[in-house]
Amino acid sequence: MIEKCSIIVLNYNGKQFLKECLDSLRDQTYKDYKVYVLDNASTDGSREYISQDFPWVGLIRASENFGTAEGSNVGVRNTSGEYIVLMSNDIRVDPKCIERLVSTLESDGSIGICSGMLVKYAPLISGEHLIDNAGGVIDKFGFPLLLHPDEVYRKDDSRIEEAFFSFGGGFIIRRSLFDRVGGFDPKYFTLSDDMDLSWRVRLTGHKVVVDHSAVIYHKVSATLGPLFARSQKRFWSERNSLRTLLKNYQFWTLFRILPQYLFLLLLEAGFYLAILRADLFCSLLKALVWNSVNLRDTAALRRQVTAFRSVDDRAILGKMHKGIIKLETASLLLAGKIRIQ
């Protein structure tokens, strides 16, 4: 019998996280679901561990590490549920989380994606938890900003709040809509892939929302953080953000925004040279070169987006952050309130 909701946990060398994650998914109040682990060619014994200790979990074996983007696509192709829930391996979910996600999605046909509320795993001394994020917003250049970071989470909060995009740590989407927009861009590997998917969902006329009562306890970059250098993550982020703009904006918007985007990129590159971070400077250069080389492929995907688009850029821009997030971040750097890793 095919489950209504397929829950796909993405895993790469995350054996140390899987027990708590899968145990929490086993005891959900919503019952019409099946849990799958998409394993991105782990080398830490994850596959053997899942097969032996979690026989009720469907194990999907990727032939290589496809990252979060194509890894999610592989997971979706190997499941059959009407609804798809995608989750990280470094999480623990509240027992009512899946029930809340399904209920919210079904309550309003205009909702395309419903994200869970990601709160930080470790509690404060008071026992309260800080919010990791409630989704995010982006500015017109595609740079993201978290919603409600480090606010104290209120357990009685049952708001359904709109966000521009959902992070990939835990959200639900209808399979039909996922297929309609083409799923994740397989060339993204990771970072900004969730933002790009949410943007394309919005172009179909659907909303992206966060259910504050669907709680997901998140270890915050426990998987990605230790694996890749800052320069590699900066490359992925800039590369993918630029490709997202090129795919998803209409021509009149690109004509206006792209020169501004490139000017900001030049300023950032100069800043990295000034502080002797040649690795980060090269990351930006590589992002530009990659997009130039892949321009034909991007154009083909752009035509697909144009074919299903039903929302004008004026409506999309109206949902974006009004400031310039790179400049806001630079001001925090100069004030010493944040630092470059």
Q: How long a stretch of residues is the chain?
A: 341
Strand (E) or helix (H) holding 289: helix 278-293
Phi, psi of 52 (to 5 degrees): -85, -45
Query: What is the pLDDT at residue 329?
Result: 85
Query: What is the pLDDT at residue 63?
Result: 93
Query: What is the pLDDT at residue 20?
Result: 95
pLDDT along the chain (341 residues), means of 10: 94 95 96 97 96 97 95 97 96 97 97 97 92 95 94 93 93 98 96 96 98 93 63 94 98 96 95 93 97 97 97 96 90 73 60
Candidates 16, 21, 327, 313; CA nearest to 170 is 21
CATH number for 5-226: choose from 3.30.70.360, 3.40.50.300, 1.10.530.10, 3.90.550.10.
Answer: 3.90.550.10
Per-residue tokens: 265: 């990129």
Find the radius of gyration of the CA atoms of the chain.
20
Instruction: Catalogue the E-assigned strands of 22-93.
Output: 33-39, 58-61, 83-87, 91-93
Query: What is the pLDDT at residue 332?
Result: 78
Pairwise CA distance, residues 204 & 207, whole Å = 9
Query: What is the pLDDT at residue 330?
Result: 79
DSSP tally for the chain: helices H, then strands E:
13, 12
In the chain, domain spans: 5-226, 229-334
**Can you list the pairs that 43-52 forms with residues at least 24 positions away whose Cβ atoms lie under 8 Å?**
43/13, 44/13, 44/14, 44/15, 45/15, 46/11, 46/13, 46/14, 46/15, 46/18, 49/15, 49/18, 50/18, 50/22
Query: What is the pLDDT at residue 259?
Result: 97
Pairwise CA distance, residues 226 & 135, whole Å = 23
